[in-house]
Structure 1
Amino acid sequence: MTNVQVRYFAGARGAVGLSEETLSMPEGTTVRDLVTELGVKHGEKLTRVLTACSFLLDGVAVRDLSVAVPDGADLDVLPPFAGG
């Protein structure tokens, strides 16, 4: 199993109601698999937010969602930020 610490920011945190959680996923899980599982677990409200999010895997921007998630990784879920 692959354990992943997921941290939610801004609108993603609001959609989930948590700032972070740990998920156990099968070995070989990709970022895409993990994002899909998050939507299934937390429902439509988060699924809508996830379509606009970017992701950091261990602090590095994810450009390819097919990248494998290593055991013990941190995934940051970052919705678009507004501000001035």
Structure 2
Amino acid sequence: MNVTVRYFAAAAEAAGTEQEQLSVSGEPTLASLKALLAARYGEPMQKVMDAGSFLVDQVVRRDPQTALSDRVDVLPPFAGG
């Protein structure tokens, strides 16, 4: 499955880009995307993923079994009040 992954703030810094097209092999779940990103970008991306969130179908998702859509946003943790 091809997925457009958009990165914001620290996630974009870890990936070195704000957006890319990735091919997720096997079962297209959030778990498989996270494994792909960790292998591709290492510790900096892992830290973002551990503390951040993912938008799938414009809804915040953290369940590893969430099925992917054609676009996923990787969001770092946000501070504010």
CA positional deviation for 1:35: 0.9
Detail structure 1 runs of 4+ shifted over 2 Å in the superposition: none
Letter in 1 for 2:75: L
Unaligned runs of 5+ in 2: none
CA positional deviation for 1:27: 4.6
Aligned to 2:48: 49
Instruction: Provide, for residues 24-53 of structure 1, a one-character-per-residue CA deviation record: whole Å limited to 9, x for no partner.
Output: 112522101101110100111111211111
Change in 2 beyond 3 A, CA 1:63/1:44: closer
CA positional deviation for 1:76: 0.5
Unaligned runs of 5+ in 1: none
Secondary structure of the residue aligned to 2:51 is coil
Q: TM-score, normalised by structure 2?
A: 0.87
Aligned to 1:79: 76
Q: How does 1:1-84 map to 2 (within 5 A)?
A: 2-70=1-69, 73-83=70-80
Q: Distance in 2 between matches of 1:59 and 1:66?
A: 16
Percent identity for Structure 1 against Structure 2: 46
Equivalences, count: 81
